[in-house]
Amino acid sequence: GEQVEQLPSILRVQEGSSASINCSYEDSASNYFPWYKQEPGENPKLIIDIRSNMERKQIQELIVLLDKKAKRFSLHITDTQPGDSAMYFCAASARHTGYQNFYFGKGTSLTVIP
Amino acid sequence: GALVYQYPRRTICKSGTSMRMECQAVGFQATSVAWYRQSPQKTFELIALSTVNSAIKYEQNFTQEKFPISHPNLSFSSMTVLNAYLEDRGLYLCGARGQANTGQLYFGEGSKLTVL
């Protein structure tokens, strides 16, 4: 199946600074790239996503960038707060005949230091 | 809004026994359901993708014989872990996607399997 690389696996930042997580994918048919935040003991929840017809999307302090040529996409959290501390997962989804699959990166553990 | 209920939340079973988990979509029609296993290290492994009216697609290293899945209608899916052993432990998550939505995967809360 699709391989999604996610880096870094661990990220510690000071409150108020920015945090960046990078992902790359292999399947050129991938056309949808969601990001999930998972807090301890909780299920993953969608926080932002981007489709292949866009290069940039922003929702409040969350920015996602997509470079289709390089097959890379990234999440940037500006002005981080302690509440942003969690596991973050990127995913790439490709539509194939009859189904659309989702593959996840291995996750980034973000800690925002007050 | 769209919700996915998954149960049981936790199961402890003896080695060699089986565990069945269920996934219920509420507020949308789950045309496809993906089953994942999240390891203690938090890595997601895709087990299989079930799309209504299509064959269930299993990923490499996962088989129907070990993880039989049922997806009888647009609101329900179940998966069983047969003959569970220590390496099967982890958090099993179902992710449901509707036909009319923009592709978002809604996750259930997970079924945590502990094997003794």
Per-residue model confidence (pLDDT) at position B81 = 97
Per-residue model confidence (pLDDT) at position A94 = 82
Confidence of residue B52 (pLDDT cuts 50, 70, 90): confident
Q: Do A102 and B34 touch (CB under 8 A)?
A: yes
Per-residue model confidence (pLDDT) at position B101 = 44
Nearest to A32 among B32, B103, B106 (CB): B103
Q: Do B104 and A107 touch (CB under 8 A)?
A: no
Q: Average pLDDT, whole number, for chain A? A: 92
Per-residue model confidence (pLDDT) at position B1 = 67
**Residue range B53-104, pLDDT digits in tens:** 788 989 988 999 999 999 888 899 999 999 999 999 999 999 998 764 456 7
Per-residue model confidence (pLDDT) at position B89 = 92
Per-residue model confidence (pLDDT) at position A95 = 74
Confidence of residue B17 (pLDDT cuts 50, 70, 90): very high
Q: Which residues of chain A have pLDDT under 50?
A: none
**Residue range A41-53, pLDDT digits in tens:** 788 888 999 999 9
- The 3-state secondary structure of chain A reads CCCEEEECCEEEEECCCCEEEEEEECCCCEEEEEEEEECCCCCCEEEEEEECCCCEEEECCEEEEEECCCCEEEEEECCCCHHHCEEEEEEEEEEECCEEEEEECCCEEEEEEC
Q: Do A34 and B108 touch (CB under 8 A)?
A: no
